[in-house]
């Protein structure tokens, strides 16, 4: 029986069931059936095929990572044969085939520990060891074992498994005798197949201080070391410096404890070591302000501090760090260029709101707060979400020293519906709390694009508010006052008494304010969401960027098709190819043509079944029975088909009603308030369970058994509104 290296719970081996997915395993077996499905393993790329990547997990054990598991195109994967990679074992078949799954974590430091899965060991979750002759981490070594381990370390039999120091134990001892880093020496000894004793790395008779990570014989006291801003550490490699910063994350590995430190200039990791898998400085938690003294090193191309001393700052010292950081954050969060991409009076009304939203996004990046973009799964949503992602990614890469930071601090998650519901918020909060518990991540900033602006989203926004997760809602459509109070920042022209605008246009302007360096990349995007009557200002902007009218239409059509399939996935790579294909041919032409063929087929099927209703006045009202005369669950989606029918037939006063078994949508040339119609129906047909959804341009839900009565009443109410 051992103890979990993360939570300390008693378990068979060194990881409990709850935290098993937080560590990575080194496999020492020789047959596939010895693998444990659900675990993450270290492997090496064996080769490539059209259908995926073969990865060697251990001797004579190879698995297949199918291309469907890889969140990008196979030919865009930057792996090469022999590369060390990390994968999850999904299934082991009876014939010995091993199915692998993708791991977003692609370096050992991203896991909370390294353990060994060895069929010949007492358990299949052991601490790393060389020849198996060292005692477990939990036991105390006797004098003879210490001597043997020291001799083994001095021969350099094994490199460090956590930070790959190339100094052996003898070199670490010499460093300690000269006033070096005792914690580093202890780490080297521990990872050379023994546990560090209480006085390893110190001179004879010198008092041990492994927890503090310093020696009494050091030439310079920690307070004498010069403080260096994090963004200047690159010039200090090999030097001992001091960093004063906030602890923004703590993770325990099977070797050192890793503290994520953030000051007014950036973020860096610092490793502190006591014993293998033992929490260093247990009194230090995320949110504390600390002064850390350590040597600046570079591991796998990334900067890292090796901790020699760590103290929690309080009072005026902590306040000084906070004030420096807040002043710098405020200055850096203020956009460098607050102008719109191009002057547009319809957008200018929300200019100040866009600046506020951009400031919140930039502040979140600087504060190491993940940015989660939630957008509708349509052209408007994908254009807006991708534009913001395009602006945020370079800022995140510049802010963090870790090469994989963009996968931790930026996420784009399309929504199933046009509202940010309690179901969506519950998923986000669950993910957020797991990240906070496992990785000490700060709660994200949620940027809601094309959603979050009506009362249907207030419950979801309220749940985020209970956990102090900030929000920005941006919607070119109709918003209401309830959502304005619920969202942290709301960008909506209708809240200023103006007409609706394109959400994609608004989001693209926002992206340009967030990061002025990507403005040229965004120039053609505002023209993409328009299906007709593209404003001249945006058509000209796209043309100047090299996108003529036909190219913009191709991009729009291709994006509309891909937005429908796997709608809940961000499809980052394919969206980038669609929106920023420099050749403007190939992919967008191929996918755009598929869109037009599929839409034309469905259009020709639906149009003959439009039911013209006889109503008083000059308005023409037609009803489409969506259930009976469309392939409801195939492309195109109902909303897109209705838009196409409406554009083709709208002439004069015209209203198109699309009704399926329990939902009604309206398209109108006049100023129709769908929500008001729904409220009227709810009062007139109390047995129909009518519920208006959204604002003025929303939809109406009802009980399927009352469909005919609801549609007839809706036609009458719409005709009256049009008079």
Is pLDDT at 626 greater than 50 in this prediction? Answer: yes
Task: Report the Cα 399 to chain-centroid distance in Å.
Answer: 16
Task: Report the Cα 297 to chain-centroid distance in Å.
Answer: 28
3-state secondary structure 203-234: CCCCCCCCCCCCCCCCCCCHHHCCECCHHHHH
Is pLDDT at 73 greater than 50 in this prediction? Answer: yes
610-722 carries CATH number 3.30.420: no
Sign of CA dihedral 224, 225, 230, 235: positive
For the chain, the straight-line distance linking the first and the last C-alpha, in angstroms and rounded, comes to: 80
Query: Which pLDDT belongs to residue 60?
Result: 85
Hey, what's the torsion of the CAs at 205, 211, 213, 215, to 10 degrees? -20
Q: Which residues pair with 227 in a beta bridge?
A: 242
The ranges of the chain annotated as CATH 3.10.310 are 610-722
489: three-class secondary structure by DSSP: strand
The DSSP 8-state label assigned to residue 122 in this structure reads: S
- How many whole angstroms separate alpha carbon 127 and alpha carbon 580? 47
Query: Which pLDDT belongs to residue 104?
Result: 86
The ranges of the chain annotated as CATH 3.90.1640 are 345-579
Give per-residue pLDDT as tens, 319-375.
999 888 888 888 889 999 999 999 999 999 999 999 999 999 999 998 889 999 999
222-326 carries CATH number 2.40.50.140: yes
Fold of domain 2-117: OB fold (Dihydrolipoamide Acetyltransferase, E2P) (2.40.50)
Question: Do 109 and 258 meet the contact criterion of CB atoms below 8 Å apart?
Answer: yes
Is pLDDT at 108 greater than 90 in this prediction? Answer: no
pLDDT interval class at 218 (50, 70, 90)? very low
692: three-class secondary structure by DSSP: strand
Give per-residue pLDDT as tens, 505-544.
999 999 999 999 999 999 999 999 999 999 999 999 999 9
Q: Please name the residue that has the structure tokens 């254009």.
A: 383
Query: Which pLDDT belongs to residue 172?
Result: 37
Give per-residue pLDDT as tens, 377-419.
999 999 999 999 999 999 998 888 666 778 789 999 999 888 9
285-295 average pLDDT score:
92
345-579 carries CATH number 3.90.1640: yes
Return the beta strands (E) in 81-157 as ranges: 84-92, 98-102, 114-117
Is pLDDT at 470 greater than 60 in this prediction? Answer: yes
278-306 average pLDDT score:
89
Q: Which residues pair with 701 in a beta bridge?
A: 663, 691
Lowest-pLDDT range, 317-321, 480-484, 665-669?
Answer: 480-484
Question: Do 58 and 27 meet the contact criterion of CB atoms below 8 Å apart?
Answer: yes
């Amino acid at each position: 029986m051992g103890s979990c290296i993360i939570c300390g719970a008693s378990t068979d081996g060194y990881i409990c069931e709850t935290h098993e997915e937080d560590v990575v395993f080194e496999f020492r077996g020789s047959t596939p059936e010895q693998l444990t499905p659900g675990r993450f393993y270290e492997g090496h790329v064996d080769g490539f095929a059209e259908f995926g990547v073969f990865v060697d997990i251990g001797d004579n054990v190879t698995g297949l990572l199918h291309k469907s598991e890889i969140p990008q195109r196979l030919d865009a994967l930057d792996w090469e044969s022999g590369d060390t990679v990390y994968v999850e074992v999904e299934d082991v078949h009876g014939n010995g085939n091993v199915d692998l799954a993708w791991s977003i974590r692609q370096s050992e430091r991203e896991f909370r520990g390294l353990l060994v899965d060895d069929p010949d060991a007492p358990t299949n979750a052991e601490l790393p060891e060389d020849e198996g002759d060292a005692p477990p981490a939990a036991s105390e070594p006797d004098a003879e074992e210490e001597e043997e381990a020291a001799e083994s370390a001095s021969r350099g039999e094994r490199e460090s498994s956590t930070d790959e120091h190339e100094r052996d134990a003898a070199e670490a001892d010499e460093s300690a005798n000269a006033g070096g880093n005792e914690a580093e020496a202890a780490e080297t000894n521990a990872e050379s197949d023994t546990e560090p004793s209480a006085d390893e790395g110190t001179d004879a008779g010198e008092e041990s201080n492994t927890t503090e990570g310093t020696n009494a014989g050091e030439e310079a006291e920690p307070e004498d070391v010069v403080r260096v801003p994090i963004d200047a550490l690159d010039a200090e490699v090999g030097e001992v410096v001091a960093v004063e910063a906030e602890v923004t994350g703590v993770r325990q590995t099977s070797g050192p404890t890793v503290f994520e430190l953030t000051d007014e200039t950036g973020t860096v990791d610092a490793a502190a070591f006591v014993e293998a898998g033992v929490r260093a400085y247990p009194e230090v938690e995320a949110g504390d302000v600390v002064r850390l003294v350590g040597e600046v090193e570079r591991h796998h191309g990334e900067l890292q501090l090796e901790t020699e001393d760590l103290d929690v700052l309080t009072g005026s010292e902590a306040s000084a760090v906070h004030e420096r950081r807040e002043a710098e954050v405020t200055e850096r969060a203020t956009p460098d260029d607050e102008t719109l991409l191009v002057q547009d009076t319809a957008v200018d009304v929300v200019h100040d709101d866009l600046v506020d939203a951009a400031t919140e996004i930039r502040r979140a990046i600087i504060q190491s707060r993940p940015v989660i973009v939630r957008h509708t799964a349509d052209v408007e949503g994908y254009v807006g979400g991708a534009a913001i992602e395009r602006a945020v990614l370079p800022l995140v890469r510049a802010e963090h020293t870790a090469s994989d930071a963009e996968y931790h601090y930026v996420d784009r998650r399309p929504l199933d519906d046009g509202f940010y519901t309690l179901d969506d918020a519950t998923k986000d909060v669950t993910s957020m709390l797991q990240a906070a518990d496992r990785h000490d991540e700060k709660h994200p900033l949620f940027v809601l694009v094309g959603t979050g602006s009506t009362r249907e989203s207030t419950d979801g926004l309220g749940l985020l508010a209970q956990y102090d997760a900030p929000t920005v809602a941006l919607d070119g459509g109709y918003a209401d006052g309830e959502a304005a109070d619920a969202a942290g920042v709301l960008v909506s022209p209708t809240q200023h008494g103006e007409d609706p605008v394109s959400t994609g246009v608004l989001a693209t302007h926002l992206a340009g304010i967030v990061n002025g360096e990507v403005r040229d990349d965004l120039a053609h995007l505002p023209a993409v969401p328009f299906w007709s009557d593209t404003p001249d200002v945006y058509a000209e902007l796209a043309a100047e960027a090299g996108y003529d009218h036909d190219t913009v239409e191709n991009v729009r059509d291709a994006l509309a098709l891909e937005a429908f399939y796997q709608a809940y996935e961000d499809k980052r790579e394919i969206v980038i190819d669609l929106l920023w294909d420099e050749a403007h041919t190939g992919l967008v032409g191929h996918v755009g043509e598929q869109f037009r063929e599929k839409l034309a087929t469905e259009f020709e099927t639906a149009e003959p079944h439009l039911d013209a209703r006889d109503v008083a006045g000059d308005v023409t009202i037609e009803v489409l029975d969506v259930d009976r005369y469309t392939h409801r669950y195939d492309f195109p989606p109902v909303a897109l088909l209705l838009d196409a029918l409406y554009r083709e037939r709208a002439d004069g006063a015209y209203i198109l009603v699309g009704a399926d078994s329990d939902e009604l949508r309206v398209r109108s040339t006049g100023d129709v308030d769908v929500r008001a119609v729904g409220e009227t129906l709810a009062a007139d047909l109390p047995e129909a369970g009518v519920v208006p959804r959204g604002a003025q341009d929303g939809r109406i839900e009802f009980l399927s058994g009352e469909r005919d009565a609801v549609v007839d009443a809706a036609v009458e109410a719409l005709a009256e509104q049009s008079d």
